[in-house]
């Protein structure tokens, strides 16, 4: 009887400990969400304030970049991501400017050091203690420059992460892949096909997507607003892509043997930019934050972006294909 009571006591005690642990875990989780929600703007403002100042705190900036990375992982809405993209790009630019100024400082310090001390003095620096201070100054500046370059690289990586989230870059090994948003319902459609090209094209007249696959072949479709129909093109063992040229009022096609190919209309140059990648999927989107095309490639894989077609039959709109996988990844 005593043994039963003792077991019951330990069971109740264990239950209370587990309950307390769960409550503590939930409260910590709530605190974590509250922290990133409330301090989201503060991390950016703190980092900008420091970058605008004349100082450069290595540890502080490293900490803020780490916090930024955690924040970005939790964000999914496009407007917030675009805001962070602008901030990260600006931050990288400011760090790059500071790094360039630091390089000039190091060059001046080295020039002054060479002028003040002969080669023999520099060779026998263990005797001349007065060399230690200028050498230490050069070393500290070079160390800081190295960290600046690391910070610029980290922000560049963050920039790539944000762009991937904004544009939905994705790949599928040995398979064609396409991902589109229905312009009416907002529904995301996704399709992949092993060793095959695959494409979705929006028909603004029929108000629906048309899709096609082609085994071991690249395939692409482009809506022709003059003919009011979708033009299709496929090529065996080759990548194929098409873009509607609003100036010439016709679809321009490009194929590339055993290579991925993609085309994007550049609204600034008013020309189509093309990119090919051997034995790789390739896709491009116009990046308005940089005023240039952002390209994404993936070796031996189909590549796609989250295509957001416009529900329009306007011939002045540059309709284009989004899929360019060549269908086969081997001889």
Over residues 213-228, the mean pLDDT reads 92
> Is 235 part of a structural domain of the chain?
yes
Q: Are residues 18 and 78 in the same domain?
A: no
What pLDDT, on the 0 to 100 scale, is given for residue 33? Answer: 25
Q: Are residues 174 and 267 in the same domain?
A: yes
What pLDDT, on the 0 to 100 scale, is given for residue 121? Answer: 62
Over residues 78-101, the mean pLDDT reads 86
Q: Are residues 90 and 132 in the same domain?
A: yes
Over residues 291-300, the mean pLDDT reads 89
> Is 318 part of a structural domain of the chain?
no
What pLDDT, on the 0 to 100 scale, is given for residue 91? Answer: 85
Which one has a higher pLDDT value, 313 or 281? Answer: 281
Point out the least confidently predicted range of 190-194, 217-221, 289-293, 306-310. Answer: 306-310
> Is 322 part of a structural domain of the chain?
no
> Is 314 part of a structural domain of the chain?
no
Three-state secondary structure of the chain: CHHHHHHHHHHHHHHHHHHHHHHHHHHHHHHHHHHHHHCHHHHHHHHHHHHHCCCCCHHHHHHHHHHHHHHHHHCCCHHHHHHHHHHHHHHHHHHHHHHHHHHHHHHHHHHHHHHHCCHHHHHCCCCCHHHHHHHHHHHHHHHHHHHHHHHHHHHHHHHHHHHHHHHCCEEEECEEEEEEECCCCCCEEEEEEECEEEEEEEECCCCEEEEEEEECEEEEEEEECCCCEEEEEEEECEEEEEEEECCCCEEEEEEEECEEEEEEEECCCCEEEEEEEECEEEEEEEECCCCEEEEEEEECEEEECEECCCCCCCCCCCCECCCCCCCCCCC
Number of domains in the chain: 3
Which pLDDT tens digit goes with each residue over 54-77? 566 777 788 888 888 888 888 877
Q: Please give the residue range of the domain that contains residue 20.
A: 2-38
Which pLDDT tens digit goes with each residue over 121-168? 655 555 455 667 788 888 899 998 998 899 888 888 888 888 888 888
Q: Are residues 72 and 160 in the same domain?
A: yes
> Is 263 part of a structural domain of the chain?
yes
> Is 324 part of a structural domain of the chain?
no
Which pLDDT tens digit goes with each residue over 305-329? 888 777 677 777 766 666 666 666 5
What pLDDT, on the 0 to 100 scale, is given for residue 183? Answer: 87
Q: Are residues 247 and 143 in the same domain?
A: no
> Is 323 part of a structural domain of the chain?
no
Average pLDDT across the chain, whole number: 78
Q: What angle do CA 76, 79, 83 make, to 5 degrees?
A: 105
Q: Are residues 199 and 217 in the same domain?
A: yes
Q: Are residues 8 and 125 in the same domain?
A: no
> Is 320 part of a structural domain of the chain?
no
What pLDDT, on the 0 to 100 scale, is given for residue 273? Answer: 94
Over residues 220-233, the mean pLDDT reads 93
What pLDDT, on the 0 to 100 scale, is given for residue 266? Answer: 92
Q: Are residues 86 and 162 in the same domain?
A: yes
Tokens representing residue 12 in the block? 């109740």
Point out the domain boundary residue: 115, 137, 167.
167
Point out the domain boundary residue: 167, 187, 217.
167
**pLDDT over 70 at 331, yes or no:** no
Nearest to 65 by CA among 46, 83, 78: 46
What pLDDT, on the 0 to 100 scale, is given for residue 28? Answer: 32
Provide the 10 A C-beta neighbour count for residue 213. 19
Q: Are residues 61 and 7 in the same domain?
A: no
Q: Are residues 117 and 191 in the same domain?
A: no
Q: Are residues 151 and 251 in the same domain?
A: no
User: What are the phi and psi torsion angles at 170 (to 5°)?
Assistant: -155, 155
What pLDDT, on the 0 to 100 scale, is given for residue 306? Answer: 83
pTM of structure? 0.61
Q: Are residues 253 and 134 in the same domain?
A: no
């Amino acid at each position: 009887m005593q043994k039963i009571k003792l077991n019951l006591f330990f069971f109740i005690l264990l239950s209370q400990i587990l309950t307390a642990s769960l409550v503590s875990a939930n409260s910590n989780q709530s605190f974590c969400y509250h922290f990133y929600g409330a301090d989201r703007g503060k991390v950016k403002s703190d980092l900008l304030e420091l970058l605008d100042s004349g100082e450069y705190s290595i540890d502080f900036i490293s900490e803020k970049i780490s916090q930024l990375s955690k924040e970005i992982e939790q964000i999914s809405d496009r407007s917030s991501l675009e805001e962070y993209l602008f901030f990260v790009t600006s931050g990288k630019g400011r760090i790059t400017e500071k790094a360039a100024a630091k390089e000039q400082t190091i060059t001046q310090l080295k020039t002054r050091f060479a002028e003040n001390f002969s080669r023999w003095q520099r060779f026998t620096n263990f005797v001349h203690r007065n060399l230690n201070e200028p050498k230490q100054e050069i070393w500290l500046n070079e160390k800081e420059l190295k960290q600046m370059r690391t910070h610029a690289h980290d922000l560049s990586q963050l920039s790539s992460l944000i762009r991937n989230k904004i544009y939905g870059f994705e790949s599928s090994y040995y398979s064609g892949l396409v991902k589109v948003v229905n312009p009416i319902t907002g529904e995301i459609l996704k399709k992949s096909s092993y060793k095959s090209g695959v494409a979705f094209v929006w028909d603004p007249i029929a108000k629906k997507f048309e899709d096609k696959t082609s085994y071991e072949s690249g395939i692409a479709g482009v809506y022709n607003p003059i003919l009011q129909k979708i033009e299709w093109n496929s090529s065996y063992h080759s990548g194929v892509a098409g873009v509607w040229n609003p100036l010439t009022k016709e679809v321009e096609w490009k194929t590339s043997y055993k290579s991925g190919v993609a085309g994007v209309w550049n609204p600034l140059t008013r020309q189509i930019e093309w990119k090919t990648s051997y034995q790789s999927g390739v896709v491009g989107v116009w990046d308005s934050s940089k005023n240039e095309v952002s390209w994404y490639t993936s070796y031996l894989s189909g590549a796609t972006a989250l295509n957001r077609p416009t529900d329009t039959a306007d011939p002045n709109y540059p309709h284009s294909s989004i899929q360019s996988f060549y269908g086969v990844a081997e001889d």
